[in-house]
């Protein structure tokens, strides 16, 4: 890296354009009339293509140069100024490109997948907004700004998961995703406050220079980790992710690959310096539990998308373990490779679902196409999708010559380095991760076997054809980048051009780990082949150990009871006090009103009345009646005489 | 016949009061003028009656004659005014003549 790199105007323009195109796509979607809603999908894809090109320029120009930073005051409060800033380094430029690129492919795929959907404009609008929000997190150089985009990501995921909001399960799942994320974000906010109280800055670059106060740093980093647990669906806030599968499949691809859950891991890598040793241990343990839980639960699922969802859980767990083990590089490498192959898997699964749905419509046969027990023998009918599924599935399983092998190898190597010599609890985590990678192979190939091999069951009578080209192209691209070649020339050495440039740590590569890893997954492949007919039908596994029920019983119920209690107290005491105050005020008002009317007005009216009475009395003497004058004159004389005589 | 003086004075006072009541209470101007005559005559009666107490002094009686003359003139002038008013307003009630009052 050179010392100070000056960035051209073109670079700045492209950076703004990369973010502006998805936002423009969001805005324009509302201006196209319902009649021509197909334009929305094409236009959105085109805008995202432009955004991808712009982010490619950003990546090309920022790669291996000193970071591009931009900062200006956002607002000032109580004498402190809060700034907003951008920070583009290798990691964020690469992430920006991957987010925009995967989002473009998902857009393109959605043109085919969502054709004819009633809410297509809302769908593409939110897809664009989702991408924009995620890009905001990626380029942000400021934790406060990150938090804002973080919330926007949560909001847009809520909109997209609940796209088919007329289905009760979708509405429920979107609410659940949003609320569980809020729980994590509460912790995030507390963490941010602690950071602010100590550093008076949210700027990530400035925070790196902060003197370390172990206790507070641990608390702050654990707070931020809470937000990451929510967003990246770690234990114990993971239940929303499998439920979110009711959303459209391309959305799941986007959520699982590049946007939603990746945000947590990306942020964790970005603020890794804030984490102290104890909090890193917590991170590693949480990641390990999530990885195991996801892998074991994935074994027993029947729903294609649920299997993929639990596999995402376990892969995210692996990334978090790597971060906990102090290797953001390995975690980020896995994040990047995972982005491609998981998006590809979801798109391929979406293709299966989509084509089967179409076939069902033609032949009027109805069964749950997402349930792998109903599927089988589709290899002949969908050879292209099968090929895609096998490539991306191999990458997920971590077979040699795939990107997944490289990144899993990186994580395992990092863990081997981390555990050090001798026996400790860290060895358990390494063992658990090894077990997870073993199980990954088993459930991935079980799924592929059930869908494409075996005997045809319910699908036998359907006429199934490959999805349209607009859906096949993104799948092909993503399957292509699931190969090793894009990440490292040597398929058995993960420290390729990407790995060495996304972190400072010296590349450490152990051939033994690579070979052991390769042997391990091939062994797992054998196990997967021999157990392909075994059904892991435990209801415990199927429901992820009933964790959501556990949460309902021990978290939701007490909170609801507490809420009822506070509601009651509020009604009875707070409202009662307010009502009493209001009543007292009413009484006082009535009293003063009466005083005003009777005394104050009465006094004024009395003076006026007296004047009027006096006037009419004296006027009565001047009545213009002659005889009255005479009477008064006589009366006066009589009075005068009586008075003088007496 | 020897009538004590105060009987005349009582009669005079009664006549005067009756005249005053007539002046005040009657609506018609002619009746008011009649009341005025009654009052004048009541005072004449007093003037004449007091001669009893001062037999040598004739000033009172002279004054009474003078009052009679003036009363005639007054009645003449008054009736003339009443006539003019009647011609002008077709009424002899003073309360109805209220042109200046409005």
How many helices (H) does chain A have, and how many strands (E)? 26, 2
> How much is the pLDDT for B1?
62
> How much is the pLDDT for A639?
94
> How much is the pLDDT for A423?
73
Rounded-to-10 torsion of CA A444, A446, A448, A454: 170
Binary contact (A627, B25; C-beta < 8 A):
yes
**Residue A612 burial class via C-beta count within 10 angstroms: exposed 0-12, middle 13-18, buried 19 and up:** exposed
Three-class HEC string of A379-406: CCCCHHHHHHHHHHHHHHHCCCCEHHHH
Q: How confident is the model at residue A643 (pLDDT cuts 50, 70, 90)?
A: very high
Residue with the two structure tokens 């969802």: A309
Q: Which residues of B touch A (CB under 8 A)?
A: 20, 23-25, 32, 94-95, 98, 100-101
Q: Is B9 helix (H, G, I), strand (E, B) or coil?
A: helix
- The phi-psi region of residue A200 (left if phi > 0; otherwise alpha if psi is between -120 and 50; otherwise beta) is left
**Candidates B20, B95, B100; nearest CB to A625:** B95
Contact A19, A135 (CB under 8 A): yes
Question: What residue of B is the nearest CA neighbor of A625?
Answer: B95
Binary contact (A630, B24; C-beta < 8 A):
yes
- Distance (Å) from the C-alpha of residue B63 to the closest C-alpha of chain A? 23
pLDDT tens-digit readout, B38-77: 999 999 999 888 888 888 888 888 999 999 999 999 999 9
Mutant choice from B13, B24, B32, B96 vs A, greatest count of A C-beta within 10 A: B24
CA dist A430 and A417 (Å) reads 10
A620 interfaces chain B, CB cutoff of 8 Å: no
Mutant choice from A620, A625, A626 vs B, greatest count of B C-beta within 10 A: A626
> How much is the pLDDT for A637?
92
- The phi-psi region of residue A544 (left if phi > 0; otherwise alpha if psi is between -120 and 50; otherwise beta) is left
- Distance (Å) from the C-alpha of residue B36 to the closest C-alpha of chain A? 12
Quote the tokens at residue A87.
């920070």
CA dist A265 and A273 (Å) reads 14
Q: Looking at residues A278-304, what average pLDDT do you find? A: 87
Binary contact (A626, B94; C-beta < 8 A):
yes
Binary contact (B23, A627; C-beta < 8 A):
yes
> How much is the pLDDT for A2?
47
Contact residues, chain A, for B98 at CB < 8 Å: 624
Question: What residue of A is the nearest CA neighbor of B100?
Answer: A624
Binary contact (A631, B32; C-beta < 8 A):
no
- Per the model's pLDDT, the better-predicted residue between B53 and A509 turns out to be B53
Beta bridge partners of A71: A85
Taking each helix axis from N to C end, the angle separating A143-161 and A260-270, rounded to the nearest 10 degrees, works out to: 160
> How much is the pLDDT for A542?
66
Binary contact (A626, B25; C-beta < 8 A):
no
Q: Which residues contact A300 (CB under 8 A, 6 or more apart)?
A: A536, A537, A538, A541, A542
CA dist A510 and A503 (Å) reads 18
Q: Is A203 helix (H, G, I), strand (E, B) or coil?
A: strand
Question: What residue of B is the nearest CA neighbor of A631?
Answer: B24
A402 phi/psi in degrees, rounded to 5: -120, 165
Residue with the two structure tokens 């395992």: A412
**Candidates A624, A631, A634; nearest CB to B98:** A624
Binary contact (A624, B24; C-beta < 8 A):
no
CA dist A141 and A348 (Å) reads 35
Contact residues, chain B, for A631 at CB < 8 Å: 24
Q: How confident is the model at residue A1 (pLDDT cuts 50, 70, 90)?
A: very low
CA dist A158 and A172 (Å) reads 10
Contact A445, A532 (CB under 8 A): yes
A464 phi/psi in degrees, rounded to 5: -105, 135
Contact residues, chain A, for B81 at CB < 8 Å: none
Contact residues, chain B, for A632 at CB < 8 Å: none
> How much is the pLDDT for B97?
76
pLDDT tens-digit readout, A54-93: 888 888 888 877 888 888 888 887 778 788 888 888 888 8
Beta bridge partners of A69: A87
B65 phi/psi in degrees, rounded to 5: -60, -45
Beta bridge partners of A81: A76
Residue with the two structure tokens 């937000």: A227
Q: Is A220 helix (H, G, I), strand (E, B) or coil?
A: helix
ipTM of the prediction greater than 0.85, yes or no: no
**Candidates B24, B94, B101; nearest CB to A631:** B24
pLDDT tens-digit readout, A391-405: 888 888 888 888 888
CA dist A595 and A589 (Å) reads 10
Give the number of other CB atoms < 10 A from CB of residue A102: 30
DSSP 8-state assignment for residue A457: -
> How much is the pLDDT for A125?
87
- Residue A129 sits at the vertex; the CA angle it makes with A124 and A135, to the nearest 5 degrees, is 130
Binary contact (B25, A634; C-beta < 8 A):
no
């Amino acid at each position: 890296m050179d010392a100070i790199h000056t960035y051209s105007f073109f670079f700045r323009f492209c950076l703004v354009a990369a973010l502006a195109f998805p936002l423009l796509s969001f805005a324009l979607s509302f201006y196209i009339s319902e009649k021509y809603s197909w334009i929305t999908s094409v236009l959105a894809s085109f805008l995202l293509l432009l955004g991808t090109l712009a982010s490619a320029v950003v990546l090309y120009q920022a790669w291996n140069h000193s970071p591009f930073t931009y900062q200006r005051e956002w607002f000032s409060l109580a004498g402190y100024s809060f700034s907003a800033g951008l920070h583009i380094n290798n990691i964020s430029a690469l992430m920006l490109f991957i987010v925009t690129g995967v989002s473009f492919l998902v857009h393109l795929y959605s043109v085919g997948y969502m054709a004819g959907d009633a809410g297509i404009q809302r769908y593409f609008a939110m897809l664009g907004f989702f991408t924009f929000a995620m890009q905001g997190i990626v380029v942000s150089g400021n934790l406060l700004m990150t938090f804002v985009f973080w919330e926007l990501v949560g909001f847009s995921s809520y909109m997209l998961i609940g796209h088919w909001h007329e289905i009760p399960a979708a509405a429920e799942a979107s609410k659940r995703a949003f609320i569980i994320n809020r729980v994590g974000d509460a912790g995030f906010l507390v963490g941010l406050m602690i950071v602010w109280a100590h550093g008076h800055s949210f700027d990530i670059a400035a925070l790196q220079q902060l003197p370390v106060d172990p206790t507070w740093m641990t608390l702050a980093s654990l707070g931020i980790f809470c937000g990451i647990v929510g967003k990246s669906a770690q234990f114990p806030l993971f239940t929303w992710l499998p439920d979110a599968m009711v959303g459209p499949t391309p959305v799941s691809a986007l959520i699982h690959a590049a946007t939603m859950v990746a945000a947590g891991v990306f942020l964790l890598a970005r603020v890794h310096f804030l984490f102290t040793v104890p909090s890193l241990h917590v991170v590693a343990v949480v990641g390990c539990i999530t990885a195991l839980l996801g892998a074991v639960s994935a074994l027993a699922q029947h729903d294609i998308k649920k299997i993929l969802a639990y596999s995402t859980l376990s892969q995210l767990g692996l990334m978090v373990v790597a971060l906990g083990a102090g290797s953001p590089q390995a975690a980020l490498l896995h994040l990047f490779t995972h982005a491609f192959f998981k998006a590809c898997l979801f798109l391929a699964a979406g293709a299966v679902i989509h084509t089967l749905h179409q076939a069902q419509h033609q032949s009027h046969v109805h069964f749950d196409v997402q349930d792998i027990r109903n599927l089988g023998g589709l290899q002949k009918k969908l050879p292209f999708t099968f090929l895609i599924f096998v490539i991306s599935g191999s990458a997920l399983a971590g077979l040699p010559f795939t990107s997944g092998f490289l990144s899993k190898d990186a994580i395992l190597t990092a863990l081997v380095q981390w555990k050090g010599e001798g026996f400790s609890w860290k060895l358990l985590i390494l063992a658990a991760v090894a077990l997870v990678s073993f199980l990954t192979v088993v459930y991935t190939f079980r799924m592929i076997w059930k869908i494409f091999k075996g005997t045809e069951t319910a699908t036998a009578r359907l006429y199934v054809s490959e999805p349209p080209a607009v859906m096949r192209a993104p799948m092909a691209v993503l399957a292509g980048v699931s190969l090793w070649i894009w990440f490292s020339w040597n398929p058995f050495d993960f420290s390729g051009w990407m790995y060495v440039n996304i972190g400072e740590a010296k590349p450490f590569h152990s051939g033994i780990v690579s070979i052991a890893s390769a042997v391990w997954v091939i062994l797992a492949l054998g196990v997967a082949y021999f157990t392909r007919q075994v059904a892991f039908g435990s209801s415990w596994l199927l429901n992820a150990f009933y964790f959501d029920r556990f949460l309902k019983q021990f978290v939701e119920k007490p909170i609801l009871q507490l809420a009822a209690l506070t509601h009651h107290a509020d009604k009875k005491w707070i409202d009662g006090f307010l009502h009493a105050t209001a009543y007292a005020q009413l009484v006082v008002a009535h009293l003063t009103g009466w005083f005003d009317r009777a005394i104050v007005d009465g006094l004024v009216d009395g003076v006026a009345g007296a004047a009027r009475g006096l006037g009419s009395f004296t006027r009565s003497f001047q009545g213009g009646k002659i005889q009255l004058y005479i009477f008064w004159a006589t009366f006066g004389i009589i009075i005068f005489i009586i008075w003088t005589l007496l | 016949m020897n009538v004590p003086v105060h009987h005349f004075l009582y009669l005079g006072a009664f006549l005067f009061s009756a005249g005053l009541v007539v002046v005040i209470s009657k609506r018609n101007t002619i009746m008011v003028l009649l009341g005025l005559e009654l009052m004048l005559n009541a005072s004449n009666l007093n003037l004449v009656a007091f001669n009893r107490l001062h037999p040598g002094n004739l000033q009172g009686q002279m004054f009474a004659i003078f009052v009679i003359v003036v009363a005639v003139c007054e009645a003449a002038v008054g009736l003339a005014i009443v006539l003019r008013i009647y011609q002008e307003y077709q009424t002899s009630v003073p309360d109805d003549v209220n042109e200046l009052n409005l």
